[in-house]
Amino acid sequence: MLIFPETRFDFCGDEYIYAEISKEMRIESNFKAISITNELRKRQIPGIVEIYPANASYLIRYNPNEVSPHDLLAYLQEVDREKSKRSELNFDSRLIEIPVWYDDSVTKEAIEKDQHRHQEPGQSNFDFVMKINGFTDKESFIEAHSVNPYFVTSLGFKPGTAWTFPLGIENEQVIQAPKYMSPRAKTPREAVGIGGAFTVVYPTQSPGSYQLIGLSAVPVYDPTQSLEMFKESFFLARPGDLWKYRPISEAEYRNIREEVNKHTYQYKVKHVPFSGEEYDEKRAAYISQMMEGF
């Protein structure tokens, strides 16, 4: 049964209100953050400048010359109470396939240059994450990581970075990994990494500290908007989307990259309504139903 603690609101300077739904990361808290921020965008409240959903919180930027901060706080508290009901945790989502070449040679080569920053120098990130999560063979680890869709909880760090959290499994089944002891100097573009309980795809080459387990064949950030999927936004992800990581071979990776480079690649997408109430009641069965025909 979904039960939310009382949301804690704080004024941050003269232009921000911060709302903490829960102290720990609970996927249900993220459902609420996305439901609330979607509702606030839809209402187009005068004075609100920007809206930022996060994993278990949200941040509102406002213009104090257009709206009283105390009036806005009262309004936010009213919306927050409304969205504390299970029946109100609804939003439109997109199920998007992300083809991944797991245990690839590209990320392996990249991490060799920064072995001194890692907990276990001399071991690949893939093997390290597999071992600490109790897996003894590559195929079962890949299956466990890719079998369920991942929920896009928030965006940040660099433009296009999406934090994704697995759905349909119990917390003790979630694959997790510590970050590097100190960040790598370089992470390949589209590398797939795990940090804590989250999986991310690095949108561009950058420093990074997540454990690298594969390489996405498709971009998640396209400032040139050369692919059809990016016509409305530079970013592939939206909070509330679902990403399904699909294991592929090196040969399929190179075939997909050729389509991407020719600007002909078509992402596999399914538009789905998401219900936090149904997910809370059915969990794995709800996810299986959502995945039908995908």
Q: Give pLDDT tens digits for 18-55.
A: 999 998 888 999 999 999 999 999 999 999 999 999 99
Q: Give pLDDT tens digits for 114-150.
A: 999 999 998 999 999 999 999 999 999 999 999 999 9
Domains of the chain: 8-88 (3.30.1360.40), 92-291 (2.40.100.10)
Q: What is the pLDDT of residue 73?
A: 97
Q: Residue 1: pLDDT above 70?
A: no
Contact 153, 163 (CB under 8 A): yes
- Beta pairing partners, 191: 215
Dihedral of the alpha carbons of 209, 214, 220, 225, in degrees to the nearest 10: 120
CA dist., res. 284 & res. 173, Å (int): 13
Q: Residue 241: pLDDT above 90?
A: yes
Answer whether 0.85 is exceeded by the pTM.
Answer: yes
Better-predicted residue by pLDDT, 170 or 188: 188
Q: Give pLDDT tens digits for 165-185.
A: 999 998 889 999 999 999 999
**For the chain, percent of residues with pLDDT exceeding 70:** 99
Query: Cβ contacts of residue 22 below 8 Å, gap of 6+?
Result: 4, 5, 29, 56
Write the secondary structure of 184-216 as one string of H (helix), E (strand) and C (coil).
Answer: EEEECCCEEEEEECEEEECCCCEEECCEEEEEE
CA dist., res. 104 & res. 122, Å (int): 16
Query: Cβ contacts of residue 155 below 8 Å, gap of 6+?
Result: 161, 162, 163, 235, 237, 239
Q: Residue 219: pLDDT above 90?
A: yes
Q: Give pLDDT tens digits for 60-101.
A: 999 999 999 999 999 999 999 999 998 999 999 999 999 999
Helix (H) or strand (E) holding 19: strand 16-20
Token pair for 64: 């104090």
The bridge status of strand 242-247 relative to strand 150-155 is antiparallel
Q: Which of 94, 114, 129, 116 is nearest to 214 (CA)?
A: 129
- For residues 148-157, give the mean pLDDT: 95
Q: What is the pLDDT of residue 157?
A: 84
Better-predicted residue by pLDDT, 156 or 238: 238
Task: Please calculate the CA angle 153-158-162 and round it to the nearest 5 degrees.
Answer: 20
**What are the C-alpha distances in Å from 143 to residues 56, 129, 146, 286?**
28, 14, 5, 20
